Structure 1
Amino acid sequence: MQKKNSIAIEKVNEHIVNWLKTYATNAKVNGFVVGISGGVDSAVTSTLCAQTGLKVLCVEMPIHQDPKQVNRGQEHIEQLKSRFPNVTNVIADLTSTFETFKTAVPETDDIAKLNLSLANTRARLRMTTLYYFAGIHGLLVAGTGNKVEDFGVGFYTKYGDGGVDLSPIADLMKSEVYALGEYLSIPQSILKAAPTDGLFGDDRTDEDQLGASYDELEWAMIADEQGRTSDEFSGREKVVFEIYKKLNTINQHKMLPIPVCNLPNQY
Structure 2
Amino acid sequence: MTPKTTFPAEKINEHIVHWLKDYALTAKVNGFVVGISGGIDSAVTSTLCAQTGLPTLCVEMPIHQAESHVSRAKEHVAQLKKRFPNVSSAETNLTSVFELFTTVVPTEGADEAKLHLSLANTRARLRMTTLYYYAGIHGLLVAGTGNKVEDFGVGFYTKYGDGGVDLSPIADLMKSEVYALAQYLDVPNAIQAAAPTDGLFGDDRSDEAQLGASYDELEQAMRYDESGKNETALTGREAEVFKIYKRLNRINQHKMNPIPVCLIPENLR
Tell me which interval the TM-score lies in, with the shorter structure as reference length.
over 0.9
Between Structure 1 and Structure 2, how many residues are aligned?
266
Provide the aligned C-alpha RMSD in A: 1.0
The worse-fitting range, judged by mean Cα deviation, of 122-131 and 222-231 is 222-231
Q: Is structure 2 residue 242 aligned with structure 1 residue 237?
A: no
1:125 maps to what in 2?
126
Contact conserved, 2:3 with 2:177, CA < 8 A, in 1? no
1:53 maps to what in 2?
53
2:95 maps to what in 1?
95
How big is the shift at 1:250?
A: 0.3
Tell me the alpha carbon deviations over residues 88-130 of structure 1, each in whole angstroms, 9 at most, x when there is no partner: 0000000000000001100143110000000000000000000
Q: Which runs of 5+ in 2 are unaligned?
A: none
Contact conserved, 1:143 with 1:167, CA < 8 A, in 2? yes
In 1, Cα distance between the equivalents of 2:242 and 2:144? 27
* Superposition TM-score, scaled by structure 2 size: 0.97
1:170 maps to what in 2?
171
2:189 maps to what in 1?
188
Q: Is structure 2 residue 165 aligned with structure 1 residue 134?
A: no
Aligned to 2:198, what secondary structure does the other structure show?
A: coil
What percentage of aligned pairs have identical amino acids?
A: 73
1:30 maps to what in 2?
30
Q: Is structure 2 residue 41 aligned with structure 1 residue 41?
A: yes
1:6 maps to what in 2?
6
How big is the shift at 1:202?
A: 1.6
How big is the shift at 1:3?
A: 6.2
Contact conserved, 2:61 with 2:92, CA < 8 A, in 1? yes
2:247 maps to what in 1?
246
How big is the shift at 1:151?
A: 0.3
In 2, Cα distance between the equivalents of 1:178 and 1:6? 13
Q: Which runs of 5+ in 1 are unaligned?
A: none
In 1, Cα distance between the equivalents of 2:6 and 2:100? 47
1:72 maps to what in 2?
72
In 1, Cα distance between the equivalents of 2:88 and 2:150? 28
Contact conserved, 2:63 with 2:98, CA < 8 A, in 1? yes
How big is the shift at 1:80?
A: 0.1
1:208 maps to what in 2?
209
2:199 maps to what in 1?
198
Contact conserved, 1:6 with 1:176, CA < 8 A, in 2? no
In 2, Cα distance between the equivalents of 1:9 and 1:43? 15
How big is the shift at 1:5?
A: 2.2
In 2, Cα distance between the equivalents of 1:151 and 1:94? 29
List structure 1 runs of 4+ shifted beyond 4 angstroms.
none
Tell me the alpha carbon deviations over residues 229-251 of structure 1, each in whole angstroms, 9 at most, x when there is no partner: 43111110000000000000000
How big is the shift at 1:183?
A: 0.2
In 2, Cα distance between the equivalents of 1:183 and 1:3? 13
In 2, Cα distance between the equivalents of 1:112 and 1:3? 35
Contact conserved, 1:3 with 1:219, CA < 8 A, in 2? no
In 2, Cα distance between the equivalents of 1:210 and 1:22? 36
* Superposition TM-score, scaled by structure 1 size: 0.98
Matched residue type, 1:21 = K
Contact conserved, 2:16 with 2:48, CA < 8 A, in 1? yes
Tell me the alpha carbon deviations over residues 52-71 of structure 1, each in whole angstroms, 9 at most, x when there is no partner: 00000000000000000000
